[in-house]
Structure 1
Amino acid sequence: MKKLKVAFVGLGNICRERHIPGLMKLPHVEIIGVINRTEPSSKKVAQEYKIPHVYSTWIELVNDPEVDIVWIGTWPYLHAPVSISALKAGKHVFCQARMAMNLLEAKQMYETACRTGKVAGLCPVPFGMTYNKTISRMRREGILGEIYFVKVNSFNDFNLEPNKPLHWRKDHRISGQNVLTLGMYIELIHRWFGWTKSVWGSYQIFTPTRNTPEGEIIEIQIPDQVQAQLELDCGAIAQLTISGMSNYPQESVEIHTQYKTLYYDVLEDKLYELPKNGERKIIIPQEEDFYDVKNWSVEKDFIEAVSMGKEYHPDFEDGLKYMEVLDAIYKSAHSNQKVSIHSTTL
């Protein structure tokens, strides 16, 4: 089998911790090039991981005929231009989440992937991966019955300190409309329960300006906390509270169904059943349902999608779906009205 040649645009923490080790385990993959934000950084990571070529620009990288796969690990502001250019150049694309700055960019990425027929995937949120097959099986076998209500609580202190310098995740010029863990939980809800058809949303910004490390004052456009109610195609309601204004960290998902109530502790990565009487009991995945997140197969799965035509998720359609919800939350917050989602997928 011909080796697939991969080049990285942006080789940050998750690429070093997950993607590079995952790709290096695969015998038919060769990492041939990299470009980071600065030339010294590019040369440093190239030396560290024995990557033979350092590019001067990402445009040079995506147009290199030797490159089969462009692996994007940058901040969101480059996701659309690099993905679209790479797809048009005939490359397959793996892009770091969150997918894009906004819905318009996500649509352009998705449509380009459809036109070119190349494999275009996103890095999955690890939340819930341990229990994907368990939830699917419980739904398929009727163990849960109808899904009625899903409640997501995501609390941390990321935005709590008003004098904290501007972080890139709060800079709309870099992160676009992406907010804290909001897109991650929308992806999880879609993975477990299906698409969203309408949204009510509101948000708050408590610190209207922040200083960059260089002292520039920036008006904050990314919310400090968000509340959203999603109406899902399956008939359930999902209520999300995402806040960076809490002194008490919590990441949890409650699932209220016809026959059972489940509680997913995200920080522990444990799924529990909450009986009507008595203590909660942990749900252990069946052997055939088990997925080891610490040793995930994301890189292998994507490479097999390229080389063998296997299905890969999340793909750009999955990403577009959560960007549609994110856009609808902003629109609902501005209009104080429910916003219906009209799918733009082909």
Structure 2
Amino acid sequence: MNERRIKVGVIGCGAIAQRRHLPEYRERKDVEIIAVCDFHLSRAKEVSEMFGVKNAYDRHEQLLADKEIEAVSICTPNHLHAALSIEAMKAGKHVLCEKPMAVTLEQAEAMVRSAEENGVFLMVGHNQRLMPVHQKAKQILQEGSLGKVLSFQTVFGHSGPENWSVDGEKSWFFQKEAAIIGAMGDLGVHKVDLIRWLLADEIIEVSAVYGSLHKTMTIDDHAILILKTQNGALGTVTASWTYYPNEVNHILFYCEKGTMKIGTDPEFGVIVEHIDGRRDQYHLDKIQTNGMDSQLNSGVIDHFIQGIVSKKGPEINGEEGLKALKVIVAAIKSADTGSTIKITN
């Protein structure tokens, strides 16, 4: 008996589609890629040939009109995420939207409502939760041997999207009207989502600064957030496009009974230093980078498809994406006004 194959489409044929969504869909035997769409038809056709996809469009309406397609990845510039996601959900498609899920809270809330109203699943592509090092870190924190987390530091920085975007220095990432948010929305939102998930805690207060330190553009290339959680932990998130030459992606948790280090050592993905002098070191797959060959096997597509097949939906759903975006929007307000912003969930 043939296994049912989920028919999918991808809107936006840039780097993240080419290096994550399409290859990971193609790897699954229970998925068939029906169509790709890009506002540049030549790119859509080129990508369709690369991945053996029969349909290439330059209008998303053409893709969404295909009743065969059950699920859609939204891999477009930030400012289009909400409108395209909502249109896809109204067409009865499950949606996997790249982060940030939207550029305003009103847009994100509308996306969550649309998923509920149309009886479809909405997932946001926060892949950091799915990495083995972070899965292990959460397990250790849940076991409680380190006690309460008192404070944390997390950094996610690289030399900028021009080094991996298909459009290089002309990438939409640097265009205010398309990106809306810079490094804070590109990288910072990942770490905000990850911290919330690892701690099983909500962020209730944020202070932030951001700016364009090095790149010639009108959006931020560096941001620093100071956060307070509901359980009282204090921490910082640094997001940057100005870390040359190598990517930095790590977390430090300072706890009542020791310290946890994630991604700080080239050999051990997670290191736990106990207050009594014991040291636990875990060999795990390295944290994925933004390198050309490092976007595969993120687990994002597996998580999305499994949620559809199980009919339970993804854990990294629209509500989770909205909570992370609330922190980023509050951080922007903090930086713009020079004040601390309280967050309600």
Spell out the pairing of 1:178-193 with structure 2 (5 A cutoff): 178-179=182-183, 180-193=186-199
Does structure 2 conserve the Cα–Cα contact (< 8 Å) formed by 1:124 and 1:313?
no
Q: Which stretch shows the higher mean deviation, 59-68 or 77-86?
A: 59-68
Secondary structure (helix, strand or coil) at the match of 1:132 reads helix
Map 1:57-136 to 2 at 5 A.
57-126=59-128, 129-136=131-138
2:131/2:298 contact within 8 Å kept = no
CA distance in 2, matches of 1:294, 1:107: 30
Report how far residue 308 of structure 1 moved: 1.9
2:257 aligned partner: 259
User: What SS does the corresponding residue of 1:31 show, helix, strand or coil?
Assistant: strand
Distance (whole Å) between structure 1 residues aligned to residue 106 and residue 138 of structure 2: 31
Contact 2:207 2:226 in 1 (8 A): yes
Task: Report the counterpart of residue 282 of structure 1 in structure 2.
Answer: 281
Alignment of 1:1-346 (within 5 A): 2-126=4-128, 129-158=131-160, 167-179=171-183, 180-193=186-199, 194-206=201-213, 210=217, 220=218, 222-247=219-244, 249=246, 250-265=248-263, 268=266, 270-274=269-273, 282-284=281-283, 295-343=297-345
What is the alpha-carbon distance in structure 2 between the residues aligned to residue 128 and residue 122 of structure 1? 12
Fraction of identical pairs, as percent: 24
- Contact 1:102/1:177 (8 A) holds in 2: no
Could you tell me how far apart the structure 1 residues matched to 2:174 and 2:265 are? 23
In structure 2, stretches of 5+ residues that fail to align are 162-167, 285-294
TM-score, normalising length from structure 2?
0.83
Runs of 5+ consecutive residues of structure 1 not aligned to the other structure: 211-219, 286-292
Deviations 1:168-221 (A, max 9, x none): 2232211122425211111211121132111111223346954xxxxxxxxx1x
SS at match of 1:181: helix
Look up the SS of the partner of 2:137 in the other structure: helix
Structure 1, 13-22 or 169-178: larger mean CA deviation = 13-22
SS in 2 for 1:59: helix
Question: Any conservation in 2 of the 1:155–1:248 contact (CA below 8 Å)?
Answer: no
Q: TM-score, normalised by structure 1?
A: 0.83
Shift of 1:294: 5.8
Which residue pairs with 1:290 in the alignment? none
Q: Is the Cα–Cα contact under 8 Å of residues 154 and 238 in structure 2 kept in the other structure?
A: yes
In structure 2, how many angstroms separate the alpha carbons of the residues matched to 1:96 and 1:319? 10
Aligned-partner SS, 1:272: strand
Q: Aligned partners of 1:76, 1:274: CA distance in 2, in Å? A: 40
* Distance across 2 between alignment mates of 1:267 and 1:112: 43
Deviation at 1:296, TM superposition (A): 4.3
CA distance in 1, matches of 2:194, 2:145: 20
- 2: distance between equivalents of 1:228 and 1:132? 21
User: Match for 2:221: what amino acid?
Assistant: D
How far off is 1:7 after superposition? 1.1
* Per-residue deviation, 1:127: 6.7
Counterparts of 1:265 and 1:334 in 2: how far apart (Å)? 32
Matched residue type, 1:270: G
SS at match of 1:198: strand
The Cα of 1:31 is off from its aligned counterpart by 1.2
Amino acid at match of 2:187: T
- The separation in 2 between residues aligned to 1:16 and 1:147, in whole angstroms, is 38
Contact preservation (8 Å) 1:135, 1:192:
yes
Take 2:322 and 2:146, find their aligned partners in 1: how far apart are those partners? Answer: 28
Write the deviation string for residues 246-290 of structure 1: whole angstroms up to 9, x where unpaired. Answer: 5575332111011110111268481222456979752346xxxxx
Cα distance in 2 for partners of 1:207, 1:246 equals: 10
How far 1:143 sits from its partner (Å)? Answer: 1.0
Shift of residue 44 of structure 1?
1.7
Aligned partners of 2:143, 2:213: CA distance in 1, in Å?
A: 46
Asked whether the 8 Å contact 1:149–1:238 carries over to 2, the reply is yes
RMSD over aligned Cα, in angstroms? 2.9
1:275-324 deviation digits (Å, cap 9, x = unpaired): 56979752346xxxxxxx96444323312211221341321111111110
